[in-house]
Amino acid sequence: MSKKSRTPSLQERYRQLEQELVRLNTLLDSIGAYVFAKDLDGRYTYVNQLVCDLFGCPREEILGKDDSHFFSLEESDELKQNDHRVMNEGIVIATEERNVIKETGEVRYYQTVKSPLYDEQGKICGMYGVSTDITKRKKLELELAVKQELLDCIVNNIDAYLYLKDSDNQFLYVNPKAEALFQPSLDALTGTPPDQFSSELMKRIVASDDHVYASGEPMSEETECTLPNGTTRYFWSKKIPMKDASGKVTRLINLSTDITELATLRRQLKQQLESELLLRREKEKLAVTDPLTGVYNRHKINETLHYEVERAQRYALDLCVILIDIDFFKQVNDCYGHLVGDSVLIDFAKILQQHVRKTDVVGRWGGEEFIVICPETGLNGAMTLANNLRSCIELHNFPTVKQRTASFGVTCFHQEDTIAQFLHRADSALYRAKQKGRNRVEVQPNQL
């Protein structure tokens, strides 16, 4: 075979080039990026299928036209500037571009690489570019940036103390309000082992944060802390654990608000309520007690007597009363004066209160007369109590007047009794004790 026969014909070479061009176009149409070329006047000399799809027209309607036919250049100025730099300065530019599609007004973002094209003499004759659509990513980034800006605005201006820590108790973020409270800067706080915190505030924070790390549960608490400047403040804190995929707590968010004014107001209100309650109790006590001796007054005794009589009638219970009169008390007032007489009455009431049972009720009946109501007590029990009281009084050494005595009248409630009849019998028994010489205990005759 001759050498001439082995040389491909010009026609065959042309056909091979056409096939290569078809394969190249097919490749460029399928790479998933926008591929284009422009001349020095910015007119398209090549576009792949993605560019045609973007502009919404076939290739032949694009070639020979510049970007003003497809983009709103007044809103896509960086596109034109980048093209000029590539072709005028002969540099390669890799950057993001924001383009506005003229036909639809749609904003799209591209990651673009643009390079100059050279002719056979090495002169720049145009440019080519490869662009990847990053619109979705860019919109997400912009949305994230807006949200981050909003979050920064909130956390930097919120009237609360916010911080983020990792599981080693290291501060990852502290908002300005919290940083001012802690006094050390975030740089000083970051990386500092928790056991080296010297302030009471920081120690209490670490202790409560450790509890959240251990439990893995959110926690709310009110804390009283003394700040480094010596002032005491109250905080309401919400601590929220952040867990990884395995459920392990890796971070913690704390949000605290200063409730010092509220806590102070609450404490003042509590003190006021306690004072008012104490005052009311004092008033209630004054309403039912004898102001001199401190035992129940006649009004309260009558109320108690009605209650115990109804109980005795309803449940068939025993009930007794003891009427007591201080012997020759008038002589005390006449000889020593009413102040001494008052001190005798006070001591006398104390003796009764100290020696009755817990269930018994002591009251001042009037003047130097006292009464003891003995619920669920039979006559024998009441007589025993009366004799014990009589003995205690006789042995007591009263200031100024020394020994004094008293007379006792005892009676037991009958189911058919009225309260008046019940008390009348006690009064009769007391009169009998006086008639028989005083300093004794008497009971109605038919109850002996």
Whether 374 and 427 share a structural domain? yes
Q: Report if residue 328 sits inside a domain.
A: yes
Q: Report if residue 1 sits inside a domain.
A: no
Whether 75 and 188 share a structural domain? no
Q: Report if residue 273 sits inside a domain.
A: no
Residue 341's SS3 state is: helix
Whether 91 and 230 share a structural domain? no
Whether 241 and 294 share a structural domain? no
Q: Report if residue 220 sits inside a domain.
A: yes
Among the residue ranges 47-61, 102-116, 123-137, 213-227, the one predicted with the least confidence is 213-227
pLDDT over 50 at 1, yes or no: no
Q: What is the tens place of the pLDDT at every residue in 4-36?
A: 555 568 888 888 888 888 888 888 888 889 999
Give the full edge-to-edge strand order of the sheet including 171-174: 171-174, 161-166, 249-258, 232-243, 219-226
Residue where one domain finishes, among candidates 138, 169, 192: 138
- Cα separation, 308 vs 372, in Å, equals 12
Whether 225 and 335 share a structural domain? no
Residue 199 pLDDT class (50, 70, 90 cuts): low
Q: Domain range for residue 190?
A: 158-262
Q: Report if residue 198 sits inside a domain.
A: yes
Element (H, E) at 286: helix 260-288
Q: Report if residue 168 sits inside a domain.
A: yes
Whether 393 and 358 share a structural domain? yes
Q: What is the mean pLDDT of the chain?
A: 89
Q: Report if residue 219 sits inside a domain.
A: yes
Instruction: State the average pLDDT over residues 425-444.
Output: 95
Residue where one domain finishes, among candidates 262, 297, 325: 262
Cα→Cα distances 18→200, 246, 437, Å: 83, 60, 151
Whether 104 and 164 share a structural domain? no
Q: Report if residue 81 sits inside a domain.
A: yes
Whether 418 and 363 share a structural domain? yes
Whether 215 and 307 share a structural domain? no
CATH number, position 217: 3.30.450.20
Element (H, E) at 67: none
CATH number, position 416: 3.30.70.270
Q: What's the pTM?
A: 0.48
CB-based burial label for 9 (10 Å; 0-12, 13-18, 19+): exposed
Structural domain count, the chain = 3
C-beta separation of 396 from 347 below 8 A:
yes
Whether 164 and 131 share a structural domain? no
Whether 340 and 436 share a structural domain? yes
Whether 165 and 134 share a structural domain? no
- Cα separation, 175 vs 90, in Å, equals 48
- Cα separation, 250 vs 243, in Å, equals 6
Q: What is the tens place of the pLDDT at every residue in 414-428?
A: 999 999 999 999 999
Catalytic residues: 368
Residue where one domain finishes, among candidates 227, 247, 262: 262
